[in-house]
Amino acid sequence: MSTEAVLKYYKQTFGGDPEQLAFAPGRIEFIGNHTDYNAGLVMGVAVAEGITVAVGRRKDRFMHFVSDGGEAVALPLDSLSPVSGLASWTNYPAGVTKVLLEAGMEMPVGYNMSITSTLPAGAGMSSSAAFELATAYALSAIYGYETDKAGFARIGKKAENEFVGMPCGILDQGVSAFGQADHIVRIDCSSDLFSLSAMPAGAHFWIFNSNKKHSLVDSAYADRHRECHEALAILQKAYPEVKNLSEVSEAQLRSQESELGDLLFRRALHIVGENDRVRAVESALLANNLDAVGKALSASHESSRVNFENSTKELDFLAVQLQQQAHVYGARLTGGGFGGAVMALTDDKFGAEHAAVIEAAYQAEFGIEASIFHTRAGDGAQTL
Ligand code: GLA
């Protein structure tokens, strides 16, 4: 969290002090890849890094945004619609503003907002959800709107789905809202049920950002979303009682393999398998069996590579290198995929010297520098 910087930028740009500060963390997807919008199970961890915003009311009906001391962007409160181009980052707070207004929050005047981030850019740690949640907490405080953590998570998701246009599930916003230091957040997305379990002692997270992304990440994500729903529609012909892919058993899925065809079969197999792997990780955590947790994490990556095809050769390389390290329990791509980062769950002996070996191998293979950082499970969104 960077309160000093956000206050400095606020003062510099708008003069005077803000009325309210809020922080929301980014997240690591621990396990349960693309299960959220299939009403399945997912586990994530809020990280210590995130987005801090400072807000204060204006006298007119405009919203002014300034990010990390850059050029300020002004938008009218009375005609809220998404913008494209360089200022498209303002769609996150503007989208949240629109959702809050629709939910009944009264805004007689607009606001100023300064923003700072401690999240690595492009690592797939969901700076967008962190931005949405920090905005929702800060605006609710100054305009007097009340809801609970699940309510804030839904506001962020709605902004993302309807204003930004990403058909994401509740994972990112849910983890950013419910995160707790040294805890894992579990979400049952069939009923938006959130619960926490303690991180096993001595386990650590290391993130290896491949610094390589598909140019069409958003449309690739939307393609997978569509393919999952196409697979479901075919399965429902044989099993009308099934409401979503996460309710399908592997036996049911296999019985419809030829109807589905190879591609949709593999997409559905990934979702069915991921739900099983979340359950396996839950039992392994209860038994404090970190080797079994790691095995499921690595199996998840393999299913991403083969079935869901949301990995890249850079992510595959990092995952395999990590999986071969003695102090690594398991490693997998984290988040939507098609680029971004690999997450490794390690013991406490894994250190910078081990990370450097992987970094050197990655650089030699692809000529790209990976960015690496070591993080812990941090607290969820909050006003400061
Ligand atoms: C992105 C989305 C999430 C989730 C993951 C994949 O992070 O925003 O809702 O679907 O991808 O599990």
Specify whether domain 3-200 bears CATH 2.60.40.650: no
Q: Per residue in 242-262, pLDDT tens?
A: 999 999 999 999 999 999 999
Spans of all domains in the chain: 3-200, 204-375
One of 3.40.640.10, 3.30.465.10, 3.30.70.890, 3.60.21.10 is the CATH number of 204-375, namely: 3.30.70.890
Distance between Cα 90 and ligand 1 center (Å): 20
Angle, CA of 169, 174 and 180, to the nearest 5°: 150
Query: In this structure, how many other beta carbons lie within 10 angstroms of the beta carbon of residue 141?
Result: 17
For residue 1, what pLDDT band results from cuts at 50, 70 and 90? low
Catalytic residue among 172, 182, 291, 347: 172
- First and final CA of the chain: distance in angstroms? 10
**How far apart, in whole angstroms, are the C-alpha atoms of residue 149 and residue 267?**
32
Q: What is the CA radius of gyration of the chain?
A: 21
For residue 182, what pLDDT band results from cuts at 50, 70 and 90? very high
Distance between Cα 381 and ligand 1 center (Å): 18
In a mutational test of the pocket of ligand 1, which residue from 29, 185, 227, 307 has the highest number of ligand atoms less than 8 Å from its CB? 29
Q: Per residue in 317-352, pLDDT tens?
A: 999 999 999 999 999 999 999 999 999 999 999 999
CA-nearest residue, atom 11 of ligand 1? 336
Distance between Cα 37 and ligand 1 center (Å): 8
Of 275, 262, 263, 265, the residue nearest 235 (C-alpha): 265
Distance between Cα 169 and ligand 1 center (Å): 6
- Ligand 1 lined by 309 (C-beta under 6 Å): no
- Ligand 1 lined by 172 (C-beta under 6 Å): yes
pLDDT of residue 78: 96
- Ligand 1 lined by 168 (C-beta under 6 Å): yes
Atom of ligand 1 nearest to the CA of 129: 8
DSSP state of 374: E
Among this protein's residues, is 36 annotated catalytic?
no
- Ligand 1 lined by 169 (C-beta under 6 Å): yes
CA-nearest residue, atom 10 of ligand 1? 34
**pLDDT tops 80 at residue 217:** no
For residue 210, what pLDDT band results from cuts at 50, 70 and 90? very high
Atom of ligand 1 nearest to the CA of 29: 12
Of 365, 306, 364, the residue nearest 332 (C-alpha): 306
pLDDT of residue 254: 98
Q: How far are the Cα atoms of 67, 272, 305, 366 from residue 64, in angstroms, in the given order?
A: 10, 45, 43, 41
Distance between Cα 237 and ligand 1 center (Å): 27
Q: Per residue in 231-247, pLDDT tens?
A: 999 999 999 999 999 99
- Ligand 1 lined by 153 (C-beta under 6 Å): no
- Ligand 1 lined by 336 (C-beta under 6 Å): yes
Distance between Cα 142 and ligand 1 center (Å): 30
For residue 120, what pLDDT band results from cuts at 50, 70 and 90? confident
Please report, as a single letter, which amino acid is at residue 17.
D
pTM: 0.95
